Amino acid sequence: MRLREIICAGLVILAVARPALAEEAASGAAASDPTAAVNYQDVRYRYFDLDKGADKHSFETEGAYMLHPRFKLTNELRYVNTDSSGKSEQDFEELKLKGIHLTSIKPFGIKAKLALGAEWLKDLGDFEKGTGSGADIIAPLAGIGWVPDDRNFIVTLVQYFYSYDTDSAREEDVRETTPRLIWIRSFPDIGGWFKADLKMSIDHEDDENFDQRLELKLGKMVSQSVGFYGEVFLGDDVLDSKAYNYSV
């Protein structure tokens, strides 16, 4: 396995977070944990270097809000500027809304949270112009957030993506199972956190094709409610994945 294309690097994010857990609150780590009871809103810019000299600028906001002690609603909205179709195109790309019911459990004597929910992904752009996904999708999910100690958080999660409305230009429907393994390390002494997120995908429309990518995040809170983080995406030859080429 050659490291020919390590997919690169740094996102600078503004995070507004008010976590509910003590150690996570001190470090800002809870906003990276999909099973944490937390309120936050991120503002994010990403740059993607696409194939054949094309690129994409993505302006995004993502957040989560506890509507009830056991119910969490997340949101994500993306606006893109890309020339992947051969000319510059701008449009809203996708809206995501996710509802999660959280239940405290203690399997094997380990403190944990059970997360059950579903996500709605609404295509807002144009698939042929490169500004849309080409499909409206519903995606049920189930996961467990494990808390082996005060500074380490492990999330095991699986989600199934099913397209109920697919653009004719896309040709194939979306039928994917996506296991996910997340490790979050909190550094409350410096108000920081590290996250490793392994995202896998089994494409049931493409001979059960298996894909994976690794996302690494390092962040630091600069006040009680504001922080910054950067991300690195690894794929291609690193993880035998074509999920990304280069991104910043």
Sign, CA dihedral 168-140-246-48, equals positive
HSE-CB of 39 using CA atoms within 13 angstroms: 8
Give me the CATH code for the 13-227+240-247 domain, please. 2.40.160
Among 153, 81, 144, CA closest to 113: 144
More confidently predicted of 75 and 35: 75
Give the contacts of 37 (CB within 8 A, at least 6 positions apart).
19, 20, 21, 30, 66, 69, 72, 102
| Beta strand segments in the chain, E | 13-19, 38-49, 55-68, 71-82, 89-105, 111-123, 135-147, 152-166, 175-187, 192-203, 209-221, 226-234, 246-247
Residue with tokens 């996500």: 119
* Confidence category of residue 14, pLDDT binned at 50, 70, 90: very low
The pLDDT of residue 242 is above 60: no
The residues spanned by each domain of the chain are 13-227+240-247
For residue 24, give the H/E element and its range: helix 22-27
pLDDT at 244 over 50: no
Please report which confidence band the pLDDT of residue 248 belongs to, taking 50, 70 and 90 as the band edges.
very low
When pLDDT is cut at 50, 70 and 90, the band that residue 23 belongs to is: low
Q: Is the dihedral of CA 118, 163, 43, 241 positive or negative?
A: positive
Which of these, 152, 181, 175, 172, lies nearest to 162 by C-alpha position? 175
Tell me the pLDDT tens digit for each residue of 155-178. Answer: 999 999 999 999 988 888 999 999
